[in-house]
Structure 1
Amino acid sequence: MDFKGLFEMQGMLFSIMILGLFLRKKKIVGAEGKKLLTDLVIDVTLPASILKSFQIEFNGEILKSCMVIGAAALIIQVGSYMLGMVLYPGFGDERKRVLQYATICSNAGVLGNPIAEGIFGGLGLLYASIYVIPQRIFMWSVGLTYFTEAPDKKTLIKKVATHPCIVAVVIGFLLMIFQIPLPGFVNLTIKQVAGANTFLAMMLVGTILAEVPLSSLADGATLYYSFVRLVFVPFLVFCGCRIWGIDGLVTGVSVVLSGMPAASVTAVMASKYHKDEVFAVRCVVLSTLLSMLTVPCWCMILNF
């Protein structure tokens, strides 16, 4: 099994993050620059990335072949949401919100697709594209409520429903279901803007990391979260797939993608809504580092 693609992706993410750290240390990117990066990611590149993720072929044949992976992904998201409710009782409110969001939202979108294609081939890439749809919906609906505050439920629902990422999910889902083609220049614009998302998000993580002592990166809280994200959740998925006799390819994609590290958007959201962004960055960085060990291990277990 060739893990070259996985390590190259991880190396790319860390390289961009280190660039952001360097620019922040050198004061090339200041406090205003960090705020601009946050707003650009949340309001521009993330919505474009969401729209792009829904641009997949969708017909009766594909619907039938992907129903199992879609159902599995939905169950995993519901299970992750429930785990987030019970696994973090001893944490303060801000950290608990970060941990809950990071539990339902992994880096399956950025890392998952190329890894699934490299390990499982073209069909694996298709399954991975379907797998991330429930996660996209959860992270910008339920997940957004972890960070968005309002005086009453009506106001909260309005804030969540009008969020740029939620609007992108609704539009993207409709475009996918009805297979509505976009004008060529619109489609190209979306793809170009979406292509900047990973770069800007990891740059932002790097600017926040510049304010974090590296000695504090690994502690009980971040190690506990990394265990949940990288070991416990994929273990439950692996056992569930085996018990229910799920197809080997669906099992492989589900386990590998459920074992992805915390998404960089966790730190972006914490920065945007002032919910302990330093802790969020530590969770993202440590889980990404440790995933360089755990993801190959899961691949080897699945290969037996």
Structure 2
Amino acid sequence: MSLAYITVNKIIEMFLIMAIGAVILKRGMADGETSKRLSSILLNVITPCMIINSYQIEFNKTLLIGLMVTAGLSGISFLMSIFLSGFLIRSKGNPDMAVERMSVVYSNCGFVGIPLINGLLGAEGVFFITAYITVFNILIWSHGITLMRGRTGNLVSTMKYFVNPSTVAIGAGILFFVTGFHLPEVVKNPVSMIGAMNTPVAMMVSGMNLAESDLLSCLKSSRTYVISAAKLLAVPFITLLLLMAVKVDRTIAITVLTASACPSAATSIMFALQYNKNSRYASELMAVTTILSLITIPVVMLAGGMVL
């Protein structure tokens, strides 16, 4: 019941911030161009600060090994999810293929995952989920961009997009953790404050997009429930099978399972805006999966608690 209570509270918080974004747009204080510019600031400034700040902790060899194990399992889970999305969501005759696949593969592991893990496992779990978020960022800035842009350009062109503020922040963050380097307080405090803006800005942008969409129509679409079932049930349950097979530390296993069970990522909306895809549909999928996750996350974790 603890997990269900935490989940409900975090989802309510998410929708309150999204509602503010929707009101901002409806009252004419912002428009579609505003949300696109805010998404650019989020992806290129705010998120990198959040990543660097998450690694500003004391070095510990056991934690480092656990971090590497978590990253490895997270990577396998993502690869399985990518394969599943490719199998379930065909590209032929589907203009929203990229949005749907991203909604299945990438979860809202930051806003929903971190608070859930903190409530279940405390600080150690939060540290391990940074490994999942790191793999998330590496893949979304490589596979995600390729998915949104299409298979255009050569390897050099793709690598150019891979080297960006978020991936640079990941590299710097890991280096800081391993070497024990801590940013001076005069630098760390602004970085921390900017990183803390990640959730509210992402949710407000999502709310702006949602205000322009037809959520009721989305709820009536059977396609929405197919995508939601793939994201909220199929992905976490294949991840659970993986965790049962490898028999890792329970804290790590619960961390990876919880992150994979979270609703669709708000980052999918930001990418849809940046690459001129159907951002309204991405917002609708995130909203619907968030609502349904109120039921599915406790179900997944109940199953996980029985076998892990």
Shift of 1:185: 1.6
Amino acid at match of 1:303: G
Contact 1:50–1:136 (Cα < 8 Å) also in 2: no
**Runs of at least 4 residues off by over 6 Å:** none
Q: 1:290 aligned to 2:279?
A: no
Contact 2:233–2:261 (Cα < 8 Å) also in 1: yes
Q: 1:276 aligned to 2:275?
A: no
Question: Partner residue of 1:59?
Answer: 60
Shift of 1:10: 1.0
Amino acid at match of 2:226: Y
Call closer, same or farther: CA 1:31–1:64 in 2, change over 3 Å.
Answer: closer
Question: Partner residue of 2:174?
Answer: 173
TM-score normalised to structure 2 length: 0.90
Question: Partner residue of 1:68?
Answer: 69
- Is there any run of 5+ residues in structure 2 with no aligned partner, and where? none
Question: Partner residue of 1:214?
Answer: 215
Partner Cα separation in structure 2 for residue 25 and residue 247 of structure 1: 48
Partner Cα separation in structure 1 for residue 93 and residue 51 of structure 2: 31
Partner Cα separation in structure 1 for residue 65 and residue 163 of structure 2: 32
Amino acid at match of 2:74: A
- Is there any run of 5+ residues in structure 1 with no aligned partner, and where? none
Range moving further from structure 2, 33-42 or 158-167: 158-167
Shift of 1:90: 5.3
Range moving further from structure 2, 2-11 or 194-203: 2-11
Range moving further from structure 2, 71-80 or 8-17: 71-80
Contact 1:104–1:135 (Cα < 8 Å) also in 2: no
Matching residue within 247, 250, 261 for 1:248: 250
Give the 3-state SS of the residue equivalent to 2:29 in structure 1. Answer: coil
Shift of 1:94: 4.3
Give the 3-state SS of the residue equivalent to 2:53 in structure 1. Answer: helix
Partner Cα separation in structure 1 for residue 69 and residue 168 of structure 2: 27
Partner Cα separation in structure 2 for residue 150 and residue 249 of structure 1: 38
Call closer, same or farther: CA 1:92–1:288 in 2, change over 3 Å.
Answer: farther
Give the 3-state SS of the residue equivalent to 1:217 in structure 2. Answer: helix
Range moving further from structure 2, 205-214 or 67-76: 67-76
Listed as ranges, the matches of 1:38-187 within 5 Å are: 38-89=39-90, 92=93, 94-148=95-149, 152-153=153-154, 156-157=157-158, 159-187=160-188
Range moving further from structure 2, 189-198 or 42-51: 42-51
Give the 3-state SS of the residue equivalent to 2:299 in structure 1. Answer: helix
Shift of 1:76: 0.8
Shift of 1:71: 2.1
Question: How large is the Cα RMSD of the aligned pairs?
Answer: 2.2
Amino acid at match of 1:209: L
Partner Cα separation in structure 1 for residue 303 and residue 76 of structure 2: 22
Shift of 1:149: 6.0
Amino acid at match of 1:27: G
Amino acid at match of 2:232: L
Call closer, same or farther: CA 1:182–1:257 in 2, change over 3 Å.
Answer: same
Call closer, same or farther: CA 1:222–1:178 in 2, change over 3 Å.
Answer: farther
Call closer, same or farther: CA 1:247–1:158 in 2, change over 3 Å.
Answer: closer
Partner Cα separation in structure 1 for residue 50 and residue 283 of structure 2: 21
Contact 1:104–1:139 (Cα < 8 Å) also in 2: no
Amino acid at match of 2:186: F
Amino acid at match of 1:298: V
Partner Cα separation in structure 1 for residue 8 and residue 152 of structure 2: 45
Amino acid at match of 2:52: L
Shift of 1:105: 1.8
TM-score normalised to structure 1 length: 0.91
After superposition, the C-alpha distances for 1:84-137 in whole angstroms (9 at most, x for unaligned) are 332211565642112222333211122111101212333322332333221222
Call closer, same or farther: CA 1:189–1:292 in 2, change over 3 Å.
Answer: same
Range moving further from structure 2, 190-199 or 38-47: 38-47
Partner Cα separation in structure 2 for residue 86 and residue 39 of structure 1: 31
